[in-house]
Chain A
């Protein structure tokens, strides 16, 4: 039997070529769904095969769950995307030629994210993140309006600088490792680095981490490196906003965590946990306040993504079994919830013909199903029970109170600020006199409610195998 590991890399690669040459956009959309679905199945079947490692690729407990999450959200987003783009074609915002690019780039992005996730070679990890960034840059600019071009340009420049600094960090890590492991490929293998980390030069390793933090931190959207993120989310097609928030930010954070694990195995390095705690809380509080000033619905949820990446970064910075568990759970819940919200927002913006919050009112009267979807999503992302986001935030808050009460106070403060902003905006959108066009929506509700159902389920009852699995990974993260 072929290892499904190769399938999750080969299917998107093959699909890029096919989708780039197929002219019909309907076939393109179907093939995009098919390829994403197959990749998802291959991702799930990774559970059936043994753990695997070479100097280039690795499958361990940590990345297997992210591969499944990534391919799942990529699959549901491709279903949403099919109904989204047919509307964009009707109103003439996109042309069939651009859709060919769009579908090919979508698969390129999924393939690149999978490469980054399963890479054992830290250089390959970097390549995966770079290619995923490039393909999203082009998709962000696909509408070619001045705003979209500006957003893409800004994303490009900030992303490239981040990527360049991360690369310098990678070179330094290699230099550290090659003193112990000798020259060549083994010196770039992540798992060997973790094993040998206690013998590494702590000063050079710490220096390397600073560059990696700034580099990959730009991609995570940590304040103050977040400037590209709201623009990229707001000006690109909504399916791209969904995968950017739900997946690409996770992948960048995953890269950072891999390096954190190398650092954690060496007692003489700088305190990485503290650095992550500071960046995490900073992002959380800053984004919480920024939520109040938003006038654009996609920008609002982009800032909410910054806020949640802050929470997750804080959780991993705290470390320990409970906080790491909360971080992993929150990563999953945020991916599912935020992409669900963008599915709803995409249809809302299409039917109302605007993204301005002031022009979207009375949704509960004009489009009740979308309104329910959005309301559930926002309630979930704001961290209210009974959804899974509440579970992870509660675990994080209670474990921080036990260890660092003052940090927990800041954390709760940030969460409350964000909660207030989200509920305030949600009210405006849902209630009041319906505004703007109230035509029928040709929407697929399946991905939206599937995600919400999963988040609800996680809030009520986490299956035993999943719990055991998260625990194992949390222990591995240290």
Chain B
């Protein structure tokens, strides 16, 4: 196999993950968001499997398997059920106007390319490209967490951010403990999903702005 093909396919898969990140940004229906996320997880597992092939690192197949089973199948299924239980599966979320969000997203992609590509002349172009894709996916995940109001879609944002991390970690050639890290992340995510279910959180608490939160804490109405 020529190195060129390895390079092209790796970029194709990482690029398709990035495109799916953009799709996640403007999806309004919760069920659609979950389906797109499952697709992204499958793209991730393909990408990791491809990395395992070109890096000749069979242990990465475990990571690919975990990505496929946990994030491609198990978590979306569980979230579909939770969404139905919470009675929000028909809900249409008002995404803060799709146009500006997409433009911001484009800006973030440009930012990550400008940040990662020029640095590290000794790191191979393949790794740098992977890192740029990964960083873009991470930033888009953050953007999604900011623009969403619903706890479930916010979690999906976090998980897509985490997909970017797994992409980055498998792209870093020869990094030890990769399988352990991806497993640890899966556990973290399982906890979050479990948390939504147990506490039946529907809405994200409106703001991380400290002054706005005064109202939540019984501190309202007694201002000096």
Contacts and interface: CB of A to CB of B under 8 A. Distances in A.
A161 interface: yes
Interface string A112-125: 00000000010110
Interface string B166-183: 001100111111001100
Contacts, number: 120
A178 B222 contact: no
A164 B201 contact: no
Contacts of A134: 188, 191
Q: How large is the interface on A (under 10, 10 to 19, 20 to 34, 35 or more residues)?
A: 35 or more
Given A175-B127, A203-B119, A207-B116, A157 B217 contact: no
A32 B120 CA distance: 49
Contacts of B154: 157
Contacts of B168: 168, 171
A122 B106 CA distance: 32
B56 interface: no
A227 interface: yes
A168 B165 contact: yes
Given A171-B168, A207-B116, A230-B210, A164 B138 contact: yes
A204 B145 contact: no
A162 B138 CA distance: 12
B120 A150 contact: no
Contact of B145 (A121, A157, A295): A157
Interface string A271-313: 0000000000000000000100001100100000000000000
Interface residues of B, number: 48
A256 interface: no
A175 B121 CA distance: 12
Interface string B200-214: 010001001110010
B88 interface: no
Contacts of A183: 173-175
B195 interface: yes
B37 interface: no
Nearest to B116: A207
A234 interface: yes
Contact of A160 (B123, B151, B172, B192): B192
B188 A178 contact: no
Interface of A: 121, 123-124, 127, 130, 134, 141, 144, 147, 149-150, 152-154, 156-158, 160-161, 164-165, 167-168, 171-172, 174-176, 178-179, 183-185, 187-188, 201, 203-204, 207, 227, 230-231, 234, 290, 295-296, 299, 356, 358
Given A171-B168, A188-B176, 11 more contacts: A123-B176, A168-B168, A172-B131, A183-B174, A201-B119, A203-B119, A203-B120, A234-B217, A290-B210, A296-B218, A299-B217
29 contacts: A121-B177, A123-B176, A124-B177, A127-B180, A127-B181, A130-B184, A130-B188, A147-B217, A147-B218, A150-B205, A161-B158, A167-B165, A168-B138, A171-B172, A174-B172, A175-B127, A178-B173, A183-B173, A185-B176, A188-B176, A188-B177, A201-B123, A203-B120, A204-B119, A207-B116, A227-B213, A230-B210, A231-B217, A299-B217
